[in-house]
């Protein structure tokens, strides 16, 4: 199979109808916070035990097309000694890998502007990840809305980084998930979120085209258009759906096969409800799907409590959320399904 055929096969698998992506790529500090919330110490063995139980959920492949893994997990095995990527393949799920190295303050930008790092040595790392079984990658850049941010410099520089990452991935035969996340943190309005997101996505696609990235072989992982979590005026699922789709139609070329939203601090139910409302609007040029982390895992973590004896309840909790989001992919979710 040629490199182009490989990329197409991966895209087709990830964008499959009724399915979405599970983000299980929390960095060590992030998963430590999640474990703290349930009173579990974050050791390498605990992380391995949790993720291997999570990813061996029976029937996971019915609603999950791919899983984004953290580098540590890519090299781990389940309780039976099966490598995690192999475990996923047996479930009919495509293994992927988070490849960015986190964010730092942007030199020359406004206070609060950040840029993501990790391009150095990326091609060599991708080669190693591919040998371990990964078929796609993910890179996240973040934008904070405040009186001064994001600056135009932050928008432009982050777009260039995302485009360069995507090009390196495609040259390595791996599908890039491009994740420009406009954060929910703050008291900004829905209109401000829409304005910033539109500017960010315009810049990202301009940079992708300039870098020579094949748009048919990428996936976009954006935020939804929502008011800041501290904004006095919140919005209905229908308002969020219409505003999000409007901005996507202005900024995302029809060549992009699938858009996999991040949950970005939304509740489990809200993430599902908003996705459902978007898929009820009508036909779109792209698939509208999900790539949720906490919004898929939270009920499973609570059920697990660090105890393998709770495996069945934990897996049932993940399966339920995956199924509900799979239903939202068709616009058929209703709250009574909860």
Is 17 among the residues known to form the active site? no
Residue 195, in any domain of the structure = yes
Tell me the chain's radius of gyration from C-alpha atoms. 19
Say yes or no to pLDDT of 282 above 90: no
Q: In 57-151, which residue ranges form alpha helices assigned H by DSSP?
A: 71-74, 84-90, 122-131
- Distance (Å, rounded) from C-alpha 221 to C-alpha 257? 12
Which residue is catalytic, options 19, 138, 160, 221? 221
221 is catalytic: yes
Joined together, the tokens standing for residue 150 give 């994001």
Asked if pLDDT for residue 295 goes beyond 90, the answer is: yes
d(CA 152, CA 160): 12
The active-site residue, picked from 26, 114, 157, 179, is: 179
pLDDT at site 323: 98
The model's pLDDT over 134-165, given as tens digits with 9 standing for 90+, comes to: 999 999 999 999 999 999 999 999 999 999 99
32 in any annotated domain = no
- State the total domains in the chain: 1
pLDDT > 90 fraction of the chain, expressed in percent and rounded: 98
90 pLDDT tier (thresholds 50, 70, 90): very high
User: Which domain range does residue 10 map to?
Assistant: 3-16+65-286
In order, the DSSP letters of 148-183 are S-S-HHHHHHHHHHHHHHHHHHHHTT-EEEEEEEE-
How far apart CA 134 and CA 228 sit, in angstroms, is 35
Question: What CATH number has the domain bearing residue 164?
Answer: 3.20.20.70
Residue 52 is assigned to a structural domain of this protein: no
Torsions phi, psi of 78, nearest 5? -80, -175
Q: What is the mean pLDDT of residues 267-271?
A: 96
325 located within any domain = no
Instruction: Scan for tokens 């048919």, then name that residue.
Output: 216
Q: What is the pLDDT of residue 1?
A: 80
> 183 is written with which tokens?
């954060």
* Cβ(263)–Cβ(292) below 8 Å: yes
Which two tokens mark 149? 């941010």
């Amino acid at each position: 199979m040629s490199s182009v055929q490989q990329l197409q096969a991966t895209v087709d698998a990830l964008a499959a109808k009724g399915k979405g992506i599970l983000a299980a790529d929390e960095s060590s500090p992030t998963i430590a916070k999640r474990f703290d919330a349930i009173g579990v110490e974050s050791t390498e063995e605990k992380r391995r035990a949790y993720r291997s139980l999570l990813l061996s959920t029976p029937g996971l492949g019915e609603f999950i097309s791919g899983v984004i893994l953290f580098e540590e997990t890519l090299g781990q095995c389940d309780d039976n000694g099966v490598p995690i990527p192999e475990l996923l393949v047996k479930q009919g799920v495509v293994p992927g890998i988070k490849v960015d190295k986190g964010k730092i303050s942007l030199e020359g930008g406004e206070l609060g502007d950040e840029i993501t790092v990790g391009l150095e040595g990326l091609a060599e790392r991708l080669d190693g990840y591919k040998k371990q079984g990964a078929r796609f990658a993910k890179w996240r850049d973040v934008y904070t809305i405040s009186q001064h941010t994001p600056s135009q410099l932050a928008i432009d520089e982050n777009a260039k980084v995302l485009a360069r990452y995507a090009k390196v991935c495609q040259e390595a035969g791996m599908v890039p998930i491009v994740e420009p996340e406009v954060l929910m943190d703050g008291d900004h309005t829905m209109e401000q979120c829409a304005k910033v997101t539109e500017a960010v996505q315009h810049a990202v696609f301009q940079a992708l085209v300039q870098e020579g990235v094949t748009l048919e072989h990428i996936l976009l992982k954006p935020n939804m258009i929502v008011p800041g979590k501290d904004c006095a005026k919140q919005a209905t699922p229908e308002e969020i759906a219409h505003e999000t789709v409007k901005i996507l139609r202005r900024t995302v070329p029809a060549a992009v096969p699938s858009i996999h939203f991040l949950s970005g601090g939304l509740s489990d139910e809200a993430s599902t409800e908003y996705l459902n409302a978007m898929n009820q609007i009508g036909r779109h040029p792209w698939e509208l799907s999900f790539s949720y982390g906490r919004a898929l895992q939270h009920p499973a973590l609570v059920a697990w409590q660090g105890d393998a004896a709770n495996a069945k309840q934990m897996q049932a909790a993940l399966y339920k959320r995956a199924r509900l989001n799979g239903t939202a992919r068709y616009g058929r979710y209703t709250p009574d399904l909860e």
